[in-house]
Amino acid sequence: MARLKNYKIATIGSHSALQILKGAQQEGFKSIAICIKGREKPYKLFNVADEIIVIEKYPDLINLQDTLIKKNAILVPHASLMEYIGFENIEKFKVPYYGNKKILRFESDRNIEREWLKAAGLKLPKIFKNPKDIDRSVIVKFHGAKGGKGYFLAKNEKDFKQKIKAHKEEEKYVIQEYIVGVPMFIHYFYSPLTDELEIMGFDKRYESNVDSLGRISARDQMALAKVEPSYVIVGNIPVVVRESFLPRIIDMGEKVIKQSRKITPGGLWGPFCLETIMTPDEEIFTFEISARIVAGTNPYIEGSPYTWLKYNEPMSTGRRIAREIKMAIKQNKLNKVLG
Ligand code: AMP
């Protein structure tokens, strides 16, 4: 254990930092929260950070690296790191980094990501390159940081052309088949130390305003001035999946891992998430992958039903990451989990 004490686990104070920092402490590490000025409060309030480093703006993290290296910190990534620092900068990081940095570029571009998932044999919603070809309901998604705002549904080319007019400033978008079903976000963890794929849990997102449109009757929606659906995420709701889906779900995760090794050395390891829609015909369509911890694991700080089955103790994804790092240190295989 003495050697563990020398390592610290650091992450940006946002997204899933509470469980990452708490998990680090549970596994015997000191934890460091790197916070934007003014955002330290949750990490103080919940007492999950042994140290809080305050920075003015996210890019300052790049200059913080020498300090982190001196502190013997291992940086755990999450979506905020990806969003605010960008994968090109992360790829150049010198500070020890949990996960495979090289996989990030594959999830940051919708086209490359699609090729990966397709090659893994997953079922994906159809993409329409040309609006002329729209022959079913589609969802039009914009790239970039708008986070689900402005997405719209269209039923044909005419409808699309009419609705896209309101988005003249948007250059990059994708026209995707709209899958009628329920969203299901699958949380996996793959350990290169045990060569095992684990199911950590499931969630569905709580999106504003689309998740409340059902509370307004169709008649009242028509009467209201303008209710456009948006998909801005405001929270996550835990879900348990019908047990008979599990064999397919495990199979999907394994195929994604196998294919990831073909696209980049070492492939994907650690936590990841397949974002799916499940249809009444029991089909599972994957519309995205997150190749790192997702905020959908946040309801499970005490563990999910699935981690309880496996571990018999509270096991959040954050704690699972810390445990993996701990196992790697003990086995002298840190190079297998840092990338
Ligand atoms: P995204 O920005 O790709 O994560 O999508 C935001 C939300 O839109 C998701 O959480 C789903 O609720 C919904 N969504 C995305 N893609 C589809 C699709 N192909 N069919 C139906 N709903 C979708």
Task: Beginning with the edge strand found earlier in the chain, give each strand of the sheet holding 73-75 in spatial order.
Answer: 51-55, 30-36, 8-12, 73-75
Tell me if 104 CB under 6 Å of ligand 1.
no
> Looking at residue 111, what is its pLDDT?
85
pLDDT at 199: 98
CA-CA distance, 294 to 291, in Å (whole number)? 9
Which pLDDT score is estimated for 283? 98
Quote the ligand 1 centre to 40 CA distance (angstroms). Answer: 32
Domain boundaries, the chain: 4-100, 127-177
183 lines ligand 1 (CB under 6 A): yes
Using the mean position of ligand 1's atoms as its centre, give its distance from the Cα of residue 277 in Å: 8
Distance 20 CA to ligand 1 centre (A): 26
Tokens 């946040």 belong to residue? 298
Q: Residue 216: name the closest of 208, 205, 224 by CA.
A: 224
State whether the beta carbon of 176 lies less than 6 angstroms from ligand 1. Answer: yes
**pLDDT mean values, one per 10 residues, the chain (339 residues):** 76 97 98 97 98 95 95 95 88 95 87 94 96 95 72 93 86 91 98 98 95 89 81 95 98 98 95 98 97 97 98 98 97 95
What CATH number was assigned to the domain covering residues 127-177?
3.30.1490.20
- Are the folds of 4-100 and 127-177 the same? no
Q: Give the pTM.
A: 0.94
Fold of domain 4-100: Rossmann fold (3.40.50)
Which of 287, 288, 289, 294 for mutating ligand 1's site (highest number of atoms within 8 Å of CB)?
287
Q: What is the pLDDT of residue 5?
A: 61
Question: Residue 192 has what pLDDT?
Answer: 97
Name the residue at shortest CA distance from atom 8 of ligand 1.
231
| Residues 6+ away with beta carbon under 8 Å from 313 | 303
